[in-house]
Chain A
Amino acid sequence: MILAIALPTGAALAETKLESTLEGVKGQVENLVTAKDEKSVSELALRIETFKKIIEFSVSETKDLKIKLLGLEDLNEEESAWRKTMIEELNNALTYYESEKSTVEDAAEISLDEIKTLATDFKNWRDTTYLPVAEKVNELLLIRQEENAIEIAERRWQKIDEDIKKLEKAKIKGVGELRELLKNADGLIGEGRELNREAGNAFWKDYILVTATTTTSAPASTTITFLPERLNATTTTASSTESATSTDESASSTLSIQPPSIKGLVGDSLVRIKDAYQIFIEMSNLVRKLLN
């Protein structure tokens, strides 16, 4: 029987604080909707309370992201500079939240129009300032996590390879099929690595180089020299990769080929790793048959 690989149901969403503050927002919204339905006099107060809960959640969310960003290891010089910029952005966000919190807490009275304006401004600020930063940080986290997954899969491949060598030495019948499956898994892991490298390349070009050029005011034509060797490899395989490589060439042309998103590339890479593990599982079942 081939076991199906699925996501862990109890994924480690250990951000208890984050979850509880989000639940607080949901509860407050429910109260506000009910108050609106009932045309309650507390409607304004509930709008203000909902806004406070949103700020509370936003602070938790930002701190959580900051901790994750600070936890990243093995960053090179440019990546460290980029991280520093992102940390500054997140600190600015926290300052903004404090300011908004003071506005609603310190004011003697807030009118309906004022709280509505605060909400509108907050939404616009979140869309244009916070979310782009959060998106970048989260993309880097995904690339790093996928890199780690690939390394684990490669180590597993090596161990299986050693076992197959033992079986070959013992002249077990049917080992050839195992060797063939292992070769397929090797191909998939290789493709996964390549796709994640593409994601790393895209991240480097879209974010790190931009930060480097912004902070150093280097001319655009020289920025490519920042591209590290490990991210500058020639790409192969997967269909989504092909469109990614063509993007550079067609940047100045009129062709509008949509480049694969970083998340898409990481996702494609993960699919390859998942498929490799599926082959490993298939092999384990086959070994059991061969040895019985």
Chain B
Amino acid sequence: MITNEEIKKNLGELKTIEPDPGFKRTSRSLILSYKSEKKIFFGMPFLKVAGAFAVLMLVITAVAFEFSPTPVLSSSFNSGSLQKEFENLSINTGIEEAKYRESANQTIVSALNEIENTNVKHMNNSLLRDEADGINLDDSTNPEIDALLETVIF
């Protein structure tokens, strides 16, 4: 049986025990070289799943867009817009104005004739034309302009 005295003696001896200096160096360097693999976000399992899902959705969307049977088109295939675009071309206004100028010139010539003329009555060109307009007759004054206008009207 071990007595108290013996236990005290053994403990006194054990107090002086030290590891081998080589083992001590190796172990220390191993411990210090260890890096934590813990990540801030994706370390958490549920975020890993969410991230994977998002990537998957992105891929699906990209593939769907790339191989979609009905691609997204511009407004160029809107017949109403196309018609309006043509009608709004300034050249159409230019042609209208050309016709107006021809008509105005005829009116001026007719008015000057009326001032000059003392013989002919009821034969004023401008008045007759205005009356003709009133009964929907063609007010053609310049065949060239009229031909141009006809070409732009279906």
Interface residues of A (CB under 8 A from B): 3-8, 11-13, 18, 22, 25-26, 28-30, 32-33, 36-37, 47, 50-51, 53-54, 57-58, 61, 112, 115-116, 118-120, 122-123, 126, 131, 134, 138, 141-142, 145-146, 148-149, 152, 156, 159-160, 162-163, 166-167, 169-170, 172, 261, 263-264, 266-268, 270-271, 273-274, 277, 280-281, 283-285, 287-288, 291
Asked whether B61 is an interface residue with its Cβ less than 8 Å from the other chain, the reply is: no
Q: Which of A8, A13, A122, A264 has the most CB of B within 10 A?
A: A8
A160 touches B76 (CB 8 A): yes
11 A-B interface contacts by CB (under 8 A): A6-B87, A7-B153, A11-B96, A13-B93, A26-B126, A37-B122, A47-B114, A170-B70, A267-B95, A281-B82, A284-B78
Known: A119-B116, A270-B151, A277-B82. A33 touches B90 (CB 8 A): no
B86 touches A267 (CB 8 A): no
A7 touches B87 (CB 8 A): yes
A164 CB, min distance to chain B CBs, angstroms? 9
In the bound complex, what is the Cα–Cα distance between A126 and B105 (angstroms)?
Answer: 10
Asked whether B91 is an interface residue with its Cβ less than 8 Å from the other chain, the reply is: yes
Partner of A148, one of B70, B89, B98, B118: B89
Q: Please give, as numbers and ranges, the residues of chain A lying within 8 Å of B70 by CB-CB distance.
A: 170, 291
Q: Please give, as numbers and ranges, the residues of chain A lying within 8 Å of B74 by CB-CB distance.
A: 159, 162-163
Binding site of A, secondary structure by majority: helix, strand, loop or mixed?
helix
- The closest CB in chain A to the CB of B130 belongs to A26
In the bound complex, what is the Cα–Cα distance between A285 and B93 (angstroms)?
Answer: 27
Q: Please give, as numbers and ranges, the residues of chain A lying within 8 Å of B154 by CB-CB distance.
A: 4-6
